[in-house]
Structure 1
Amino acid sequence: MASFNRRMLFLVIFTASVFCFWANPSVAELPRLKQPAKAGDSLSFLVVGDWGRKGEYNQSLVAKQMGIVGKKLNLDFVISTGDNFYEDGLKGVDDPAFYESFVDIYTAPSLQKQWYIVLGNHDYRGDVEAQLSPILKGKDSRWICFRSFILNSGTVDFFFVDTTPFVDEYFTNPGNSTYDWKGILPRQAYLSQLLKDVDSALKQSKAKWKLVVGHHTIKSAGTHGNTVELEEQLLPILKANDVDAYINGHDHCLEQIIDSESGIQFLTSGGGSKAWRDNVKPWNKEELKLYYDGQGFMSVQITETKVDLVFYDVEGNVLHKWSITKDLNAAA
């Protein structure tokens, strides 16, 4: 009953937040949601990306281990870093892939929490509006997906950014793929407004920790490598606003890079299903703390003064741990 009441409370907050956004967009350019934290403003969440393959390529095995770890951590929510449905997104709100790749895969009791979701480039190859539709939330109340949005939770502010429209190649050389750009065009106006909104939201944030989530890499030793457009356009905003970490998928690996100049943590969790083996590129060993070219996921535990990162493989083995600390009295 307590769990049911918490979920109903969240749905009320969620609905009210979305209503306020659409009713008066000048109040907040990006949708703003709230996620209750535990006592002491602590949070526990998992991060998984590049997963939607109807259980194949070990997606089901990764999901099983996520459920086990989620139970141990008393999970608050899950973050998806995109590419939610391969190869070409959803065909519509009634596409059975929503059940085959999400509802029927992540069935563990500990994973029956909110999923905060961004879109990946493969999602843009399908019906984007389907993934954004409240109809999917009606099918499974865990599903929370916007192009870009803000999540406030205790001492942490999360900024979810729609990164696919930044990548020039999808517009100039899409190959055999067709992208759904409804709601994006004119592109430069969309990107300019998004960057302005993210910068403004980061400047206004008084949170102890600022975490930005997107699908595409900014810095990565993986197959895709750095996304130049994000390095040039988004990264300066992250640096100027003292962002603690940028969390992404896109490269099908698990990875931690600590930028020697800014100190920003670049955390890749894109091992939700199909992985690429032996594709690591040369990188400064002082910055590259983990590169695992295999399947798995990441857990994050946050208090006011500490962030604990743990990376797990497909069998639930701990691959890597890292802690980030911050002075209790440090200015936000």
Structure 2
Amino acid sequence: MNVDRRGFLTGAATAAGLATAASLATTAPAGAQPAPGKLPFPDGGPLRILVTGDAGTGTRPQWAVADAARALHAQQPFSFAIGLGDNLYEQGPQSDDDAQFNAKFEDPNHDLDFPWIMVQGNHDNSSILPGDGGWLLRGDHEVAYHSRSPRWWMPSRYYSVPIGDLVEFFVLDLNPIAAYLPPLFAPYWAADGEFMTEQAAWLDRALDASTAKWKIVCTHHPYLSNGSHGNAGEYEGLSIEPVNGIHVKRFFEAHVLGRAQFLLSGHDHCLQVLEPNPACKGTRQIVSGAAAKTNSGSHEKDPARITPALFENFTDLGFMVLDLTANSAELTVHTVDPSNGQPTTAFQRRLV
């Protein structure tokens, strides 16, 4: 956002009515979309997964990161990709045939021809200001685009993708409870409303029923982050509920933590491999949001609020690669030179 975010959020509760009063005609989000001509997922492992986020600018930095991914794909092909939200900066799509889908997804990612598991971000649901998350119907256009693109995988606002018994990805949409303009006058989207209640019940059932070796939850908004947005419950360094993400924190703690090995998120434009704290119950938070932008991080934060990290980088563009087998999960972080699109291995570790 090009405005003073904290100043804006301080008045968000008052301004929220401007964005949400127009949402009274809100209907249920688009149901699962048909999938004709989609690129197939593999039947099993081993898997090599491109993990990227906050990419959708259509600018040279996004193209440089995609160039780096193409170079690695040519050497050792990816099985599929995960896009962790903010797919179409700055406001999100106007329709399911918006030209932005080509300019900010299809064209930059040419020749990366495999399925892309896509997550909704706050910029995909903008209302008054870019990224305010106040017009949630915008995200339905991204769901509808699932039926138009062979690569873009988003059959619903939240969904899962099982790959045999090796791994299952659980894609969540927490925008209703993370919005900077919360939907105060649209009960369907409220923290205790129909959308979030049904999503929580679905996730509980799906996690319990999954037989996968690896359970990986994918969101745009993180539970923990040393980046400028911060931890859920303390987003933007605010104590004002709910814009500080308190409902996001509660959702993670009630439905995710201790039930999946990894939580993959974007939102902060950086690369972080964080250590689980006791509240995480063993779930490791990973942030990959540097596919087109970078921002500041832990060096500006209160040391008491910094989560220990195996790796963090707040200045370089980049992405991650997750290699999964039945016995191991290895993560590699690649930074990218924006001038030539060359990747550099910055971190590599077997996490499990």
Q: Does 1:237 align with 2:251?
A: no
Q: TM-score, normalised by structure 2?
A: 0.74
Identity of aligned residues (%): 26
- In the TM superposition, what are the counterparts of 1:1-332 in structure 2 within 5 Å? 35-38=41-44, 41-56=45-60, 58-107=61-110, 109=111, 111-125=112-126, 127-134=138-145, 137-138=147-148, 140-145=149-154, 146-154=156-164, 155-167=166-178, 169-171=180-182, 184=189, 188-228=193-233, 229-241=247-259, 243-261=260-278, 262-277=281-296, 280=299, 281=301, 282=303, 287-293=308-314, 294-315=316-337, 316-325=343-352
Q: After TM superposition, give the deviation of residue 286 of structure 1 in Å.
A: 7.8
**Distance verdict in 2 for CA 1:235–1:305, change over 3 Å:** same
Point out where structure 1 has 5 or more consecutive residues left out of the alignment: 1-16, 21-33, 174-180, 326-332
Is the Cα–Cα contact under 8 Å of residues 35 and 151 in structure 1 kept in the other structure?
no
Kept in 2, the 8 Å contact 1:48–1:271? The answer is: yes
Q: Cα distance 1:283–1:149, how it changes in 2: closer, same or farther (>3 A)?
A: farther
**Conserved? CA contact 1:37–1:43, under 8 Å:** no
Partner amino acid, structure 1, of 2:210: S
Offset at residue 284 of structure 1 (A): 7.7
Cα distance in 2 for residues equivalent to 1:285 and 1:169: 23
Report the Cα offset of residue 238 of structure 1. 2.0
Cα distance per residue 1:197-235 (max 9 Å; x no partner): 111111111111110000001101101111222221223
* Structure 1 residues 92 and 278: CA distance shift in structure 2, 3 A: same
Structure 1 length normalisation: TM-score?
0.78
Distance in 1 (CA, whole Å) between partners of 2:349 and 2:106 is: 31
Offset of 1:93 from its aligned partner? 2.2
User: Cα deviations across residues 157-195 of structure 1 (Å, max 9, x unaligned)?
Assistant: 11000011122533179xxxxxxx897469622112211
Greater CA deviation, 229-238 or 198-207?
229-238
The alpha-carbon deviation at position 237 of structure 1 amounts to 2.1
Q: Deviation per CA, 1:241-296: give whole Å up to 9, x if none.
A: 2x100000000000011213222110000001011135543368883111111311
**How far off its partner does 1:153 sit?**
0.5
* Map of 1:177 onto structure 2: none
Cα deviation for residue 66 of structure 1 reads 0.9
Q: In structure 1, what residue type is equivalent to 2:253?
A: L
Give, in angstroms, the shift of residue 70 of structure 1: 2.2
Query: Residue 168 of structure 2 aligns to a residue in which SS?
Result: strand
Local SS of the residue matching 1:210:
strand
Question: Cα distance, 1:19 vs. partner?
Answer: 6.4
Deviations, residues 116-166 of structure 1 (Å, cap 9, x unaligned): 1011000011722221114x542x310111310010013101100001112
Residues 290/253 of structure 1: CA separation in 2 closer, same or farther (3 Å cut): same
Looking at structure 2, the residues matched to 298 and 200 of structure 1 have their Cα atoms a distance apart, in angstroms, of: 29
How many angstroms apart in 2 are the aligned matches of 1:295 and 1:182?
Answer: 39
The total of aligned residue pairs comes to 282
CA distance in 1, matches of 2:43, 2:258: 27
